[in-house]
């Protein structure tokens, strides 16, 4: 079995309100950008677990009728973005296991040693996985630890929870923000020791006292009326017990490694991740590009008539870049909002076809103009090349493309969908070769220093006022991985290729 999900998803956990399922639905809707493949909600009450999960967008998975079955004041929920696995309902989170206690789990991230962990669970613990998801592996690992003998009357204590999560952290290599519903006990949240994937926590007053909410992004808390309290620290465990008491402990903080791609592309602009507003970071990304763009255009004797964002993540940076350059800002690529985000489509052919449907050029504004296109990043180059072709057909005289992200040259093993170096246009080509490949008159990238400075300058002090400088994970840019990946590259790519084959075969069978 291939045990990998390669997922960059959205997770939600709510405890302490009879409206938990409805609020989870609303929260998933605000996190739809984090996963468009599938969605699920698991609730718990005195009658047991209740679950709804299926393939599709949030609004198509949940109905008035099936939402009525999700009773209880404790829920966990998940939006799935996958690039591997079978793609059927069996892969859709939340996952449930009956022993010990009864556990439900959702997970955002990617486990790079999942194959070795699955093999060990099978041989040493006699646990056989039923899916291709690394979340199921995490669930079994946690269950294995929680099943160990406890002191006292057998009631699960916070010390017991921490010991179980600490043991899991010692064995697991990768990124994980996890929410676990423990039947008759409460809700457990924990984050990997490097804090690679985000997890926010908030509270609000309700009739029964206080409700608690965890979510991948603070935008979900805001929308559901929860006051943002803080982000979980790297390696932190938070346990809300059945009385509503909050227990928290940092058990394995190995230093910061927050994924820079959250601010570049993935997160919603309304969110604040680890004290850095996403909107503010993107404004700063535009500002940090100004001198580079000026210098490169001057050096080559080039002039831009318009600054044009490639919808829609790059819009914020493009505005500040245009302001600082003194070049008019124009939105002349009109987005069809009914097309999926092309970056997270799982094949190059799908991405190429989607671009043609996704954007329509305003020919009357483009014809004869020298365009400075601004994109959040250039990963495979597929989308960039198609857009350059699009504006040239619309009559653009010159086309320059600016990336708010530095060149992506290394694979990501932590959940962003470029785990193969061969897929990355910047991995083996010089900038001149990239310009030729994209058919651009100029390609300008953000610098590593500019990216770091943009995130740092946007950082806001936490509630205690103590600023903790952190270096985001930029392994895909500089090859400095926060965890040891020396032995996983080849097997990881092979596993991913096998899993994608399974998914493609499943889709072909479904389409026949």
Return the pLDDT at 45: 97
- Residues 6 or more apart whose Cβ sits within 8 Å of residue 406: 445, 446, 447, 448, 450, 451, 474, 477
Check if the beta carbon of residue 129 is closer than 8 Å to that of residue 136: yes
Q: Which of 9, 224, 259, 412 is catalytic?
A: 9
- d(C-alpha 114, C-alpha 419), whole Å: 15
- pLDDT at site 151: 63
Confidence of residue 336 (pLDDT cuts 50, 70, 90): confident
Per-residue pLDDT tens digits for 228-259 = 999 999 999 999 999 999 999 999 988 778 99
pLDDT for 464 equals: 67
Angle between the 134-146 and 114-125 helix axes, to the nearest 10 degrees? 40
What is the pTM (predicted TM-score) of this model?
0.90
Of the listed ranges 151-155, 346-350, 490-494, the least confidently predicted one is: 490-494
Query: Can you tell me whether residue 209 is helix, strand or coil?
Result: strand
Helix (H) or strand (E) holding 242: none
Predicted pLDDT of residue 141: 97
Q: Is the pLDDT of residue 376 over 50?
A: yes
Indicate the angle between helix axes 278-300 and 315-325, nearest 10 degrees. 50
* Whole-angstrom distance, CA of residue 361 vs CA of residue 345: 22
Domain ranges in the chain?
10-255, 278-454
Helices 348-358, 382-393: inter-axial angle, 10-degree rounding: 30
Q: State pLDDT tens for residues 385-419.
A: 999 999 999 999 999 999 999 999 999 999 887 77
Q: Per-residue confidence at 491, pLDDT binned at 50, 70, 90? A: very low
Residue 334 makes CB contacts below 8 A (sequence gap 6+) with 311, 359, 360, 361, 362
Query: Does 9 qualify as catalytic in the annotation?
Result: yes
Give the SS3 label for residue 380: coil
For 98-119, the pLDDT digits (tens) are 999 999 999 999 999 999 999 9
> Looking at residue 348, what is its pLDDT?
53
Q: What is the pLDDT of residue 154?
A: 67
- Stretch 175-203: mean pLDDT, rounded? 97
Residue pLDDT, tens place only, 461-485: 876 666 666 679 999 999 999 998 9
Cβ within 8 Å of residue 94, ≥6 positions away: 40, 41, 42, 51, 53, 76, 77, 78, 104, 105, 106, 181
Residue 273: other Cβ atoms inside 10 A: 26
Q: Residues 417-465: pLDDT tens digits? A: 777 898 899 998 999 999 999 999 999 999 999 999 999 999 988 766 6
Q: What percent of the chain has pLDDT over 70?
A: 87
CA distance 178 to 13: 10
Indicate the CATH number for domain 10-255: 3.60.20.10
Token match 């967008």: residue? 57
Q: Are strands 306-309 and 370-375 parallel, antiparallel or unpaired?
A: parallel
pLDDT digits (tens, 9 = 90+) for 38-65: 999 999 999 999 999 999 999 999 999 9
For residue 195, is it left (φ>0), alpha (ψ between -120 and 50) or beta?
left
pLDDT digits 0-9 by tens, 200-237: 999 999 998 999 999 999 999 999 999 999 999 999 99
Q: Model confidence over 78-103: pLDDT tens digits?
A: 999 875 555 689 999 999 999 999 99
Q: Which fold has domain 278-454?
A: Rossmann fold (3.40.50)
Q: What is the enclosing helix (H) or strand (E) of 443?
A: strand 442-445
Query: CA of 142: how far to CAs of 33, 104, 172, 190, in Å?
Result: 29, 11, 11, 12
pLDDT above 90 (res 4): no
- The token pair that represents 24 in the structure block: 């989870």
Query: Coil, strand or helix: which one is 202?
Result: strand
Q: What DSSP element (H or E) covers 388?
A: helix 382-393
């Amino acid at each position: 079995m291939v045990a990998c999900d390669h997922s960059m998803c959205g997770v939600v956990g709510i405890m302490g309100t009879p409206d938990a399922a409805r609020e989870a639905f609303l929260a998933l809707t605000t996190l739809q950008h984090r996963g468009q493949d599938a969605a699920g909600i698991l609730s718990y009450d005195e009658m047991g677990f209740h679950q709804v999960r299926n393939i599709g967008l949030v609004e198509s998975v949940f109905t008035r009728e099936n939402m009525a079955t999700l009773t209880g004041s404790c829920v966990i929920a998940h939006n799935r973005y996958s690039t591997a696995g079978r793609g059927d309902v069996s892969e859709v989170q939340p996952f449930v296991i009956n022993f010990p206690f009864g556990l439900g789990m959702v997970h955002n991230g990617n486990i790079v040693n999942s194959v070795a962990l699955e093999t060990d669970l099978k041989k040493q613990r006699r646990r056989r996985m039923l899916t291709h998801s690394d979340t199921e592996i995490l669930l079994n690992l946690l269950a294995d630890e929680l099943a160990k003998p406890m002191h006292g009357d057998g009631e699960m204590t916070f010390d017991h929870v921490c010991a179980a999560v600490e043991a899991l952290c010692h064995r697991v290599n990768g990124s994980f923000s996890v929410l676990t519903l423990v039947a008759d006990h409460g809700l457990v949240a924990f984050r990997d020791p490097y804090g690679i994937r985000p997890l926010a926590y908030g509270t609000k007053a309700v009739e029964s006292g206080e409700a608690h909410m965890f979510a991948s992004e603070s935008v979900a808390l805001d929308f559901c009326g929860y006051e943002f309290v803080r982000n979980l620290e790297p390696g932190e465990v938070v346990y809300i017990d059945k009385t509503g008491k909050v227990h928290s402990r940092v058990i394995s903080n190995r230093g910061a490694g927050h994924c820079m791609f959250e601010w570049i592309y993935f997160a919603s602009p309304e969110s604040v991740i680890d004290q850095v507003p996403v909107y503010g970071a993107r404004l700063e990304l535009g500002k940090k590009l100004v001198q580079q763009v000026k210098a490169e255009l001057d050096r080559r004797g080039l002039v831009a008539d318009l600054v044009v964002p490639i919808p829609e993540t790059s819009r914020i940076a493009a505005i500040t870049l245009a302001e600082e350059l003194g070049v008019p800002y124009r939105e002349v690529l009109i987005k069809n909002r009914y097309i999926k985000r092309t970056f997270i489509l799982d094949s190059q052919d799908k991405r190429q076809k989607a671009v043609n449907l996704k954007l329509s050029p305003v020919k009357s504004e483009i014809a004869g103009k020298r365009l400075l296109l601004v994109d959040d990043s250039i990963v495979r180059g597929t989308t960039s090349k198609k857009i350059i072709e699009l504006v040239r057909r619309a009559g653009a005289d010159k086309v320059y493309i600016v990336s708010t992200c530095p060149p992506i040259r290394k694979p990501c093993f932590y959940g962003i969908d470029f785990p193969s170096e061969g897929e990355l246009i910047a991995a083996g080509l010089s900038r001149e070769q990239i310009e030729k490949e994209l058919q651009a008159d100029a390609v300008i990238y953000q610098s590593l220093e500019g990216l770091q400075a943009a995130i740092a300058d946007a950082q806001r002090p936490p509630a205690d006022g103590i600023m903790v400088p952190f270096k985001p994970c930029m392994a895909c840019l500089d090859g400095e991985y926060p965890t040891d990946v020396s032995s996983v590259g080849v097997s990881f790519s092979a596993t991913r290729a096998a899993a994608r084959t399974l998914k493609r075969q499943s889709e072909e069978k479904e389409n026949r």
